[in-house]
Amino acid sequence: MKKTLLREKVHSRWLILLIDQVIVCWAFSMSFLMTSRVTYTDMFPANFLPYLGLFSAVSISVFMTKRVHNGIIRYSNTEDILRIFSAVLTCNVIYWILVQLVVKANIHIVWPQLMEAVILNFFLSSTVLVMLRLGVKNIFNVLKSEEKQEFKTILIYGSGRSSVLLKQALENHPQIKYKVVGFVDSDIDKVGKEIEQKQVYNFYAIAALKEKHKVNELIVMSNSLSKHGQKQAVEECIELGIKVLTVPPADKWLNGQLSVNQIKDLKIEDLLQREPIVLIKQNIIKQLSGKTVLVTGAAGSIGSEIVRQVLSYNPRLIILCDQAESPLHELQLELEDNQMAAKVKVCIANIQNLTSMRSIFTAYQPQIVFHAAAYKHVPMMENNPREAILSNVMGTKNIADLSMEFLVEKFIMISTDKAVNPTNVMGASKRLAEMYIQSLNSSFNKTSHEKLLEDSGFYMPENRNTHTRFITTRFGNVLGSNGSVIPRFKAQIERGGPVTVTHPDITRYFMTIPESVQLVLEAGAMGQGGEIFIFDMGKPIRIADLARNMIKLAGLVPDKDIHLEYTGLRPGEKLYEELLNKEEFNIPTHHHKIKISSVIVYPFIFIQEKIHDLLSLNEAGNEVEVVRKMKEIIPEYRSNNSRFEELDSVAEVYH
C-alpha cells in the first residue's frame, strides 16, 4: 500500500477532474439541503435536478478553462490553492447569473434561498477541494520522510517568496533528501516569525541551530550573494563547518522544477562578490554601437569576457585575435552555440608579428581596439625576459602604431597593478607599455602626428581631423582566471592537499572577471586619451586566508584534513601589490569605482629611443643587458627575490 502511494506515477488529469466534480456536486447538494430546510422525506425534490445539472456543466467548463485538474496534487502550492478559490468563485457567480437569466425565465422553477446556497457552496466546495490537496500532500510527505533513511538538515537564507518556493521545491523533490529546519534572514521585522510552520532566525542563531538540529547545509540564492546580511550568514557557516550551497533564482529552474544539477557548492568567487556595478550604459553604447572592434588576447580570461560584453552593445563587427588556437576555437563554438557569432571574425595571429597584424587592420579597419594580449605569469617571465619584452612591449607597440596608422578612435590597454613599482620583469614590461602609449597620446598634435606617420611611410588620408586616444586600465588579479591561484588551490584540494602558499603574509587584490571588464568598458567610454584608470579593488586579501576558506568550502578542516605548506616567494614576487607609486595620486571620476592615476608622462622621442635600444638588446639575446636597460628606463624598478637583484646597485648609481 505504501509503495503504491509513494510511486512516482502521475494519475490522469481526467481522474482528478472527476474527483473534483464529485466533490463540488456533493458540496452543492449539501448547500441545497442546508438552505432549503427540507424534510427527510422530501430531501431532493424534482426541481433540484435541473439546478444540479446546470451547476455541474458550469463547474466542468470553468475547471477545465482554469486548468485546475492539471496540477500534480502532491506538489500543490499556494498558486494552486488560489486557482481553486478563483475557479469555485467563478463557478458560483456564473451559475447565479444563469439561474437568474435562464432557469427562472424559461423553466419557471423558483429557489428562494439561491443566494444563500451559492455563498455556502463557495465556502464548502473550496474548503473540501483545498483540504483534499493539502491532505494528499501531507500524507505523501510524511510517508516520503519515513522512507528517507538519511536526510540532510538544512537552513535556507531569506524569507521572501523565492525562499518559500525553494523550501517547497526541496521538500517535495523526489530525488533530494532535505529537511528544512528554518529560514535565516537579517530583516529584524521577520526574525522570530513563522513561514509555512518554519521559523525565521537571525544569522547569530546558526551556531545554536547546528548544535540542536545538526544542521548540515545552508542554501542561498545565487543572485543575491553580494548582500551584506547574506555574506555574514555564509561566512558564519564557513567558520562553523556548515556547507554552503547555491541555487539559481526560481525563474531559472528547468520547466519550473529545481534540478539536482542546479544545486551547486558555493565557490570562492561567489563569496568574494561585491555589490553590482552600475554602469552609464549610454556612454558605452555610444562608443561601441555600430563600430568595428578588435580584441587582442581574445581567447584569454579577460579578452573573452570583453568579447561577450561588447557583443551586448550591438557592434557592427568584433574581431577576435589570439595566437592560442584551441582556446580561440572554444570561444568561437561558445558564441555559435549562443547565436552570437554572426558579428564575429576569428583571426589567429601573434601581436609580435607586425605583418600579420597589419593585414588584420587592413582587412577590417577597426575603430576601437581592446588590447588584452600579454604574458602575465611573474615567475615564468622572470625566467624568460626576452619573451616578456617581445609580447608585452614590442607587441603593444605594434598594435599601438597600427592603431595610429589606421586612425583607430580609441585604444584601450589592459595593464596590471604589477606595473606599479615593479619588482619583476613582467610588471616592468607592462609599465614600459604604459609609458609608450601615454607618450603617443600626449606628444602629438595633428601636425606632428601626421608628420611622424608620413616619415614612417604610413599612408595619411586627406581631411584627417582626429587622432587615436590611448587609454590604460590598471587593476589586480581576477578571480578564476587561467593560471590563477583559485583553480590551482581547487585542484590541490581535490587531490587531498597540501595547498601551497608562497608566504603566510602575502596579499593580493582580487576582482571577478565580469566586474573588471565592466569597469574596462566604462573607463574606455569616459577616457579622453592619456589616462591611466585604476579600479576600486576593495581590500587586499591574504592568500593564506583565501586558501583556508576554499578548504572550508569543500567541507574540510584546514591543517587537519588539508594542510597548508609555505614554499617561499617565487622569483620576482612581492608580498603586496600597489595601485599607485609614491609619485602618483588619484583623481576621482564620475564613477566611484574608477579613478585616474596622475603619473609622469614622458616625451615620445625619449621613450621611442629607449624602447628602440631595448628591442635591439633583446634581439641580441643578452637577458642581463635587457633587464639592465629596463631598470635604466624605469627608475622605480627594483627586482625582488630574483637573479637580477644585482643590477639594482648599478641602476641606483645611474639615477
pLDDT tens digits, one per residue of 616-637 = 999 998 899 999 999 999 988 9
Mean pLDDT of 255-259: 63
| pLDDT score recorded for residue 200 | 86
Q: Is the pLDDT of residue 61 over 70?
A: yes
Name which of 518, 548, 558 is nearest 535 in CA terms. Answer: 518
Model confidence at 275, in pLDDT bands (50, 70, 90)?
A: low
CB 597 within 8 A of CB 584: yes
* Predicted pLDDT at 406: 93
pLDDT of 653 strictly over 80: no
* Model confidence pLDDT, tens digit, residues 313-325: 999 999 999 999 9
CA distances from 48 to 43, 104, 262, 339, 577 (A): 10, 13, 55, 63, 88
Rounded to an integer, the average pLDDT of 536-563 is 85
Give tens-digit pLDDT for 129-159: 777 777 777 776 666 655 555 577 888 887 7
pLDDT at 215 over 80: yes
pLDDT recorded at residue 35: 73
pLDDT at 265: 77
Mean pLDDT of 31-40: 65
Q: Grid cell 633583446 — which residue?
A: 618
Res. 654 pLDDT band, cuts 50 70 90: very low
Mention every residue, 6+ apart, whose C-beta is less than 8 A from residue 149: none
With 80 as the cut, is the pLDDT of residue 80 above it?
A: no
Output the pLDDT for position 382.
Answer: 92
Give the pLDDT band of residue 38 (cuts 50, 70, 90): low
- Counting residues of the chain whose pLDDT is more than 90, the rounded percentage is 26
Q: What is the pLDDT of residues 582-600, one digit of tens each?
A: 555 567 777 777 777 777 7
Average pLDDT over residues 355-381: 94
pLDDT (tens digit per residue) in 158-187: 777 777 777 777 776 666 677 888 888 877
Average pLDDT (296-308) is: 93
Q: Which residue has the higher pLDDT, 103 or 421?
A: 421
Q: Is the peptide bond before 174 cis (omega within 30 degrees of 0)?
A: no
Q: Are strands 317-322 and 344-348 parallel, antiparallel or unpaired?
A: parallel
Integer Cα distance of 486 and 479 in angstroms = 7
For residue 276, pLDDT over 70 is answered with no
CATH number of the domain located at residue range(s) 281-477+512-536+578-606 in this protein: 3.40.50.720
CB atoms within 10 A of CB 92: 26
Better pLDDT: 529 or 48: 529
pLDDT value at 446 more than 50 = no
Domains 149-266 and 281-477+512-536+578-606 fall in the same CATH topology: yes
State the Cα–Cα distance between residues 302 and 514, nearest whole angstrom: 8
What pLDDT, on the 0 to 100 scale, is given for residue 251? 66
**Is residue 458 scored above 50 in pLDDT?**
no
For domain 149-266, give its CATH number from 3.40.50.2000, 3.40.50.620, 3.40.50.720, 3.30.70.1450.
3.40.50.720
pTM flag (> 0.75):
no
Task: Give the span between the Cα atoms of 549 and 586, in whole angstroms.
Answer: 33
8 Å CB contact between 422 and 648: no
What is the pLDDT, as a whole number, of residue 188? 80
- Given a cut of 90, is residue 426 above it in pLDDT? yes
> In this predicted model, which residue has the larger pLDDT, 538 or 345?
345
Q: What is the pLDDT of residue 331?
A: 93
Burial of 329-350, coded b for 16+ CB within 10 Å and e otherwise, reads eebbeebeeeeebeebebbebb
Query: Does residue 647 contact residue 624 with C-beta atoms inside 8 Å?
Result: yes
Which is higher by pLDDT, 367 or 218?
367
pLDDT at 368: 94
Beta-ladder partners of 594 = 535
pLDDT at 155: 86
> Does the pLDDT of residue 1 top 50, yes or no?
no
Compute CA distances 266 → 51, 128, 222, 539, whole Å. Answer: 60, 43, 9, 21
- pLDDT for 655 equals 47
Q: Can you read off the three cell numbers belonging to residue 275? A: 555589490
Helices 48-65 + 78-98 axis angle, to 10? 140
How do the domains of the chain map onto residue ranges?
A: 2-144, 149-266, 281-477+512-536+578-606
Average pLDDT value for the chain: 79
Q: Is 590 helix (H, G, I), strand (E, B) or coil?
A: coil
What integer pLDDT is reported at residue 323 of this predicted model? Answer: 93
